[in-house]
Structure 1
Amino acid sequence: MKRLTTFIRQLIFLLLLIPTLLAGQKVLIAYDANTPLNVTESCEFWFDGYDANSFTLDGTSVDQWDDKSGNDRHVLNGNDNATRPTYNSATGRVTFINANSTFLQSAAFGSALSQPNTIFVVYKITGGLADNEGVFDAVTSIAQLFYFHATVFKIHAGAQLVGPATNTNDNIHVGEFNGLTSNYWINGDLVDAGAIGASALDGITLGARGGLTTYADCEIMEVIGYNAVLTDADRDKITGYLSNKWNITATTDYKGSVLTFEGKVLTYTPSVFGAEYQAVYDAYTTKPDAATAAIWNTCVETWVANGEWATKDIIYVYAAHTNGAGEALINWKTPGTFDATAFNAPTFTADEGFLGNGTTQYINTGGWIPSVNGVNYLQDDASQIIYIRTDISGNTLHGIHHSGNPSVSIIPRLVGDAYISINDNADLSSDVNANGSGMFINTRTASNVKKLYRNKVAIINAVTASTSVPILSPYCLAGNNNNVADLFRVDQVSMYAWGAGMTQTHVNNFTDPFETAMDALGTGIIAMTELDILMKLQYMAFQLRIQNEKVPVYINP
């Protein structure tokens, strides 16, 4: 099922919302999906580094960065590329270089924005911490300035408020320019308060002071401005939004994943990832969008709650949001240990996984060997799990194909049958199977009990005796034959895992959360009725609230 109907999406949202309300937690309609800033006051300007469509580029040089507030206060640089900052679409950062006098600047406003103004600037210093450099300002004069000078952060509008010592971290700076009662926050913490002057904001300059003096070495990620003093709650909402988006630790009640639903983004509090998925998220070079991250967090924490997470040694979710820096090859159980390597460039598709060519392409398991590294995987207590999105017939396999030695392998479909071996000497057991796609779980729960489940139904029941645990590392999209890849598959694989043996209950408990996540992404392939999905989501929502209250549950319609 690629996409759920609008009606079903609405019901899903309500089902997920009910346990939240019952738990007594706040639900905040905080942001519109495309302009996530419509709190009490209207937004005057907004520059969003994560929105690549808001940039006009010459190569990587920024000609113009569009204002997304709807007020058309775009910042641009009509000079040649030498004085233009550069943009990295993978990181969302606009890089300014002091030595090149780089800047972006708007036209002067038709009417200057008199105080009070509340301005958010997310930036990182990339040069000297003791320099005197301007990051954000007005156009014609030093009016409402964010800068750093003499090793401290500052804001200025005729007088200055002084923050803590400069650093090279990503930071959320918030200036409330309000005459005698102005405030300066960094990452949600109030760092100074008092009189700041009365200058109005007559335009926007990024990467320099107004009048194009005192340029900066910095990266700017996001800028948001309001012609108002925001309430504490509204300021905190935006701080939380920026904290979550840019992965910055901040003092805020609203940091957390967000959910897009019918043009709204909803934030639940408390909104945190479980420790298990947080480790995966932290290992990503390019982070998934908040809704996708929330979907996978829900999957993982459901596995934690029902016990399936603890029984696995390695889990690879190839159906990641990107593989630009190997994100789809991370071992979710212990990121950084036994991360996989893809050989000969199998085709990666976001939210779907890797497709092999059937001749040379395969993926290893990062050197994980059952006989050496298996903790849960044992001779008579073992499983091999794979989620396949394609239905291909072939005398080829996934796993370990070690002639005359203990092997573990799945042939999902060869004409009308499936075949498995698990901790036996390549003694293939088979039975009827007309479809090579789905969640396949090859498992051994006793010395003479092995089964193959497809989509939670046992399709092979065999009594082949085990011999020992394999001494080779498993492959995906091919078999490992004494450390040589062979018998290559033309499958698209979304997930691969190895661990302890699995009964029917274990099979159900592992399959359902993963399929629910894939369905939420629009890439699931197990036939489920809409009622099935609704009931599973409702069950997951209630169980996670009861068993692990820290976990929010989200769906991405």
Structure 2
Amino acid sequence: MPSQPPLPIGKIGKAGISSSVSLSPPSAAFSPLDLSPVLWFDASDASTITQSAGAVSQWDDKSGNALHATQGTGSNQPTFNTDELVFTGTHWLNLPDLSAYFNGSQNRTIFVVGEVDTVSSDEGFFSLGPNTTGNKFPIMTNLGALRLEITGSGATTSLSMSVDTYAIIALKLDGTTLGDCTYYLNGTSEAVTGANTINTDASNTNSIGRVALGDKLNGAIREIIAFDSALSDADLNQVGNYLENKWALTWTDL
């Protein structure tokens, strides 16, 4: 018996198939690469981790810019644990010169998936620049609350992290001053207060796991994604939802 042609796809009414309907292919899943990040560190991708007995000497940047994070001193190397890098107050990774992307008051948006093991001190997740007036730009906590400190001035928000609880943190600069910065904790936003000018020197002392030369992290980090632009709410939600689904966390859409 000869094979039969496929039946047309259409709307079926009382009179049978009335018209054809075109079917669109499913859309591709969102990737941070869709928004062209400057940096992307992902601890769920073990192929990006260079380690010896768990001690991490390099964390590869997945953005395509090859801006890898490194630590050559064994006693300062964080520990790789399945899908996270663990920092115990003496560990950090060094980042290369990032002045082409984050110097001065150039707009930026930085995401961190991280947790703190204590709320009794200052804890640094990610930092740009040295500890000189106006020149640093960190994502950090002060007694558990998210804080932005540019040396000589800073502000602590009311957005507080819980001990041993992973969260999605984001910090956006859309302007030139402290007051043009906004912190996000799991999608809840709070503007940073202050009129001091952001003047980041991202040519040196850029770090993961500390602020400038101090405030080293007691906690862990799973992912960092940084952009050299102020993301729109729609794009913030895209990244936030991506991290929410990936890490089984919560992001409240803006």
TM range (shorter): 0.7 to 0.9
Letter in 1 for 2:127: D
**Secondary structure of 2:222's partner?**
strand
- Structure 1 residues 42, 125: closer, same or farther in 2, change over 3 A? same
- Structure 1 residues 110, 198: closer, same or farther in 2, change over 3 A? closer
Letter in 1 for 2:41: F
The residue number in structure 2 matching 1:385 is none
Q: Give runs of aligned pairs for residues 351-500 of structure 1, distance below 5 A.
A: none
Q: Give, in whole Å, the separation in 2 of the partners of 1:97 and 1:87.
A: 12
Picking from 129, 132, 135, the partner of 2:122 is: 132
Q: Is the 8 A contact 1:209 1:215 kept in 2?
A: yes
CA deviation string 1:299-327 (max 9, x = no partner): xxxxxxxxxxxxxxxxxxxxxxxxxxxxx
- Structure 1 residues 201, 47: closer, same or farther in 2, change over 3 A? farther
Q: Give runs of aligned pairs for residues 211-230 of structure 1, distance below 5 A.
A: 212-230=213-231
Question: TM-score scaled to structure 2, two decimals?
Answer: 0.78
CA deviation string 1:420-456 (max 9, x = no partner): xxxxxxxxxxxxxxxxxxxxxxxxxxxxxxxxxxxxx
- Structure 1 residues 110, 137: closer, same or farther in 2, change over 3 A? closer
User: Structure 1 residue 163: deviation in Å?
Assistant: 3.5
Picking from 95, 106, 115, the partner of 2:95 is: 106
1:69 maps to 2:63:
yes
The residue number in structure 1 matching 2:3 is none
Q: Give, in whole Å, the separation in 2 of the partners of 1:227 and 1:134.
A: 20
Picking from 168, 173, 176, the partner of 1:172 is: 168
User: Structure 1 residue 38: deviation in Å?
Assistant: 3.2
Q: Is the 8 A contact 1:30 1:237 kept in 2?
A: no
Q: Give, in whole Å, the separation in 2 of the partners of 1:62 and 1:139.
A: 22
1:207 maps to 2:209:
yes
Q: Give runs of aligned pairs for residues 288-307 of structure 1, distance below 5 A.
A: none
Q: Is the 8 A contact 2:39 2:227 kept in 1?
A: yes
User: Structure 1 residue 112: deviation in Å?
Assistant: 5.2
Q: Which runs of 5+ in 1 are unaligned?
A: 1-16, 22-26, 254-557
Picking from 49, 54, 57, the partner of 2:48 is: 54
Larger radius of gyration: 1
Q: Give, in whole Å, the separation in 1 of the partners of 2:250 and 2:94.
A: 29
Q: Give, in whole Å, the separation in 2 of the partners of 1:163 and 1:77.
A: 33
Q: Is the 8 A contact 2:129 2:137 kept in 1?
A: no
Letter in 2 for 1:156: E
1:143 maps to 2:136:
yes
- Structure 1 residues 192, 161: closer, same or farther in 2, change over 3 A? farther
Q: Is the 8 A contact 1:119 1:223 kept in 2?
A: yes
Letter in 2 for 1:252: D
The residue number in structure 2 matching 1:503 is none
Q: Is the 8 A contact 1:67 1:75 kept in 2?
A: yes
Q: Give, in whole Å, the separation in 2 of the partners of 1:42 and 1:137.
A: 20
1:97 maps to 2:99:
no
**Secondary structure of 2:102's partner?**
coil
CA deviation string 1:479-537 (max 9, x = no partner): xxxxxxxxxxxxxxxxxxxxxxxxxxxxxxxxxxxxxxxxxxxxxxxxxxxxxxxxxxx
User: Structure 1 residue 134: deviation in Å?
Assistant: 1.6
The residue number in structure 2 matching 1:433 is none
**Secondary structure of 1:43's partner?**
coil
User: Structure 1 residue 111: deviation in Å?
Assistant: 3.0
CA deviation string 1:45-86 (max 9, x = no partner): 010010100011011000000111111111110112x21100
Q: Is the 8 A contact 2:116 2:123 kept in 1?
A: no
**Secondary structure of 1:122's partner?**
strand
Q: Give runs of aligned pairs for residues 260-299 of structure 1, distance below 5 A.
A: none
Q: Give, in whole Å, the separation in 2 of the partners of 1:53 and 1:201.
A: 31
Q: Give, in whole Å, the separation in 1 of the partners of 2:222 and 2:158.
A: 20
Letter in 1 for 2:248: N
Q: Give, in whole Å, the separation in 2 of the partners of 1:235 and 1:151.
A: 23
Superposition RMSD in Å? 2.4
Q: Is the 8 A contact 2:129 2:200 kept in 1?
A: no
| Higher RCO structure, 1 or 2 (CA under 8 Å, sep 6+) | 2
The residue number in structure 1 matching 2:232 is 231
**Secondary structure of 2:50's partner?**
strand
- Structure 1 residues 53, 139: closer, same or farther in 2, change over 3 A? farther
Q: Give, in whole Å, the separation in 2 of the partners of 1:64 and 1:48.
A: 12
Q: Is the 8 A contact 2:87 2:219 kept in 1?
A: yes
Letter in 1 for 2:111: F
**Secondary structure of 2:67's partner?**
coil
Q: Give, in whole Å, the separation in 1 of the partners of 2:28 and 2:197.
A: 35
Choose between structure 1 and 2: higher helix proportion: 1
Choose between structure 1 and 2: higher strand proportion: 2
Letter in 2 for 1:215: K
Q: Is the 8 A contact 1:136 1:146 kept in 2?
A: yes
Q: Give, in whole Å, the separation in 2 of the partners of 1:42 and 1:108.
A: 18
User: Structure 1 residue 176: deviation in Å?
Assistant: 0.3
